[in-house]
Chains A and B, each alone.
Chain A
Amino acid sequence: MYRYDDFDRSFVHQRAAQFRDQLERHLAGSLGEEEFRPLRLQNGWYVQRHAPMLRVAVPYGELNSKQLRALSRIARVYDGRSGGPHAGKGGFGHLTTRQNCQYNWIALDDAADVMDLLADVDMHGIQTSGNCIRNITSDCFAGVAADEIVDPRPYCEILRQWSTLHPEFAFLPRKFKIAVSGAIEDRAAIAWHDIGLVLKKNDAGEVGFEVRVGGGMGRTPIIGTVVREFLPWHEILVFIEAVVRVYNRYGRRDNIYKARIKILVKAEGQKFIDAVEGEFQDILERDIDGSAHLITDAELARVSACFESPDGVTAVAETPIDATNATPSYTRWLARNVHAHRLSGYRAVTLSLKRAGQPPGDASANQMALAADLADRFSSSELRVSHDQNLVLPWVPATELPALYAAARESGFATPNIGHLTDMIACPGGDLCALANARSIPIAASLTERFDDLDELHDIGDIDLHISGCINSCGHHHSGHIGILGVDKDGQEWYQVSLGGSDGSTLSGPSATGKVIGPSFAAEEVTDVVEVVIDTYRAQRTSHEERFIATVRRIGLDPFKAAANAVRRATAIDG
């Protein structure tokens, strides 16, 4: 993974010092809340329902065990209340679809100390919030995936550095999210981002990007538009500068719901693309030192050298996995949680954070420390945070799988449900988030409890279930095969259910927004609705090989609507 040099390290410490100065002025009363707000946001500090929330950047999802131990320590020492109405809460981190780690119970007075602790392990909260270029996300199997064409991580790091404290783009009309992938399979929901980049090679073997602009969820879900089929890799910073400058100048600022770049792209169409191409040419041809941000071969080589395989990791002969004494649960774990690797003799392994008794994506201080131990023992001290809110060990020798399984099971990470219904995406929802209209966690808990039979989950097969507590769509409900959206009606929690969304993966098909299957359901109806929707699928599928999403596409929504309407109690509708 990327190794900080003296400049990088001094930079994050400077940033922590700058934040301390701002926080002290705020606490002393000379920097009002309104003016402090955008400053703390750009360091990852929100004010939420009960307390501030800190979002720590995990750039493109890559972590080492030392960093995870620091995150564990922050959860243990700083995340929680000793008194008051919320005594005993906290002590955990929440992993997000954008591969970041959030805390919900840290006192603002401790904020500067926490930023110092993060800086000590080369971490920060820079631009994890605010109307700026956010943390860049990627494929959680980047650099190890068997289907990878180009490793996206060096480009992600170069983009991270370029976007960090960019002086022109700190106050855009709205937030700006970039995702990068370099494999055949899309594991980063590329088309759902403000800018989605896919690395590819042309016939000459040269590396370039397919560039999409203007994807996004929220109130107006839109799939990004391809604006360049193949942009040579060294031009990427200049091209993105052109995109973001056009957005900064012409994006709407009169209405927060129409301020994302997707609205500009949709409204202007080809005119937008022409403006970006014009700006791109102008930078290179007219600006003083306009070519300064063309990436040099030397810089790509310097950064890429950080992403070589860890010491001692090299392809070895595959040895057949001994299945003679394998238990059914181990066999299932091998099938669900263990993934192909570009190196023979190695696997990537998902540590499931989807289990009964804890919200999806949550890890306690102790669990984070245990995961760090597993990384040290089995994965060259490296981990990843996945878009699906799990942890991944990227460098596991295949011969260690039985030992890893035993250790992961002991630590509660071995639920063999990756890709299954209970491997759902969920935002923190109304329990913690001030924006939410409804709670997500109780819905997730109820579904986890109802679908606790592994044989049944196996029979249902691959399915994406996504829950958002409000239309901001942090739980990506638009792209779920089953999407659940919390809505507020007269102060009550209601849930809209949609079917047929896609994140753009091979299983899900081209990125698409799910379609709502009728009026909202009451909270106590949601689990029943999901159950009858699943029953309908099982009754209607042509074979066990036809996945849920394929059945929905083949037979349409009506059979699912009818089944869902039949379980309405609080929301009975006529006819």
Chain B
Amino acid sequence: MSAPTMKFIDAASNRWHEVTADDALVPMPTPCAECLLSTAQWQAVRTTWPRDIPVGIVLANDVDVETIGRDVASFAIVALQFPKWTDGRAYSQARLLRSRYRYTGELRATGEVLVDMLPLLARTGFDAVVLRADQSRAVAERALAMFPAGHYQGDTLARQPHFRRRLSESAT
């Protein structure tokens, strides 16, 4: 198994932005390219947002992803949050977005994202991260390359658990 791919985003390469005015979120944003909306903003514009303008959404980690489940095809990017790196709620959100709601766009980890979280992020469906400023990309990539033979349980990268992979290997 090769190391999972992960897009590393920093301030310079980030093109997506929140829609604010005077440091507050605009309640009813005007459609624009590369807008990253809050759930409230999205609810306000979801029926009127033009289909040809890609849009992103930021989900707080206590939001039930079911609330945007039927809209996932509309999003080019979903940003999930780690307010503290020991708060693991966004892993479940990511897993559900990928496995239950079939979300295929970019899934970005934001907030307190540390290098040692990378294997967990990759395995729950994240494909992009904004590392905390003091974190080393090289160490993050090394962390991703560990466990080359895979893991026991299935995840969003290898959906079959090892016990089913083991069976198919011995059958061939």
Residues of A bordering B, CB below 8 Å: 7, 10-11, 14, 17-18, 21-22, 25, 30, 35, 38-39, 131, 158, 161-172, 237, 245, 248-249, 253, 282, 286-290, 292-293, 295-296, 298-299, 302
Contact = CB atoms under 8 A, between A and B. Distances in A.
How many B residues are at the interface, by size bracket?
A: 35 or more
A423 B83 CA distance: 47
B35 to A, nearest CB: 27
A168 B92 contact: yes
B149 A11 contact: yes
Given A18-B147, A288-B98, A288-B159, 4 more contacts: A158-B163, A161-B163, A168-B124, A171-B86
A168 B102 contact: no
Nearest to A241: B153
Interface of B: 64, 85-89, 91-92, 95, 98-100, 102, 114, 116, 119-120, 123-124, 136, 139, 142-143, 146-149, 151-155, 159-164, 166-167
A442 B102 CA distance: 59
B100 A286 contact: yes
A165 B152 contact: yes
B99 A14 contact: no
A14 B148 CA distance: 9
A248 B147 CA distance: 25
A265 B91 CA distance: 22
Nearest to B119: A167
Nearest to A300: B163
Nearest to B132: A35
Contact of A299 (B95, B119, B159, B163): B163
Contacts of B139: 25, 30
A111 to B, nearest CB: 16
A253 B83 CA distance: 12
B164 A292 contact: yes
Contact of B161 (A169, A286, A293): A293
A249 B61 CA distance: 9
B15 to A, nearest CB: 28
B42 to A, nearest CB: 20
Nearest to B98: A288
Contacts of A131: 86, 88
Contacts of B114: 35
A287 B120 contact: no
Nearest to B146: A18
A10 B87 CA distance: 30
A21 B142 CA distance: 10
Contacts of B99: 287-290
B153 A296 contact: no
Contacts of A302: 163
A164 B87 contact: no
Nearest to B171: A298
B116 A39 contact: yes
B124 A10 contact: no
Given A166-B153, A168-B95, A282 B87 contact: no
7 contacts: A7-B149, A18-B147, A165-B147, A171-B91, A248-B91, A288-B99, A299-B164
A162 B89 contact: no
A163 to B, nearest CB: 8
A171 B87 contact: yes
A427 B153 CA distance: 33
B167 A299 contact: yes
A428 B111 CA distance: 39
B119 to A, nearest CB: 7
Contact of A248 (B89, B160, B166): B89
Contact of A245 (B92, B98, B159, B167): B92
A286 B69 CA distance: 12
Nearest to A14: B147
A171 B83 CA distance: 13
Contacts of A14: 146-149
Contact of B100 (A7, A35, A166, A287): A287
A468 to B, nearest CB: 26
A454 B64 CA distance: 61
B159 A162 contact: no
A39 B115 CA distance: 11
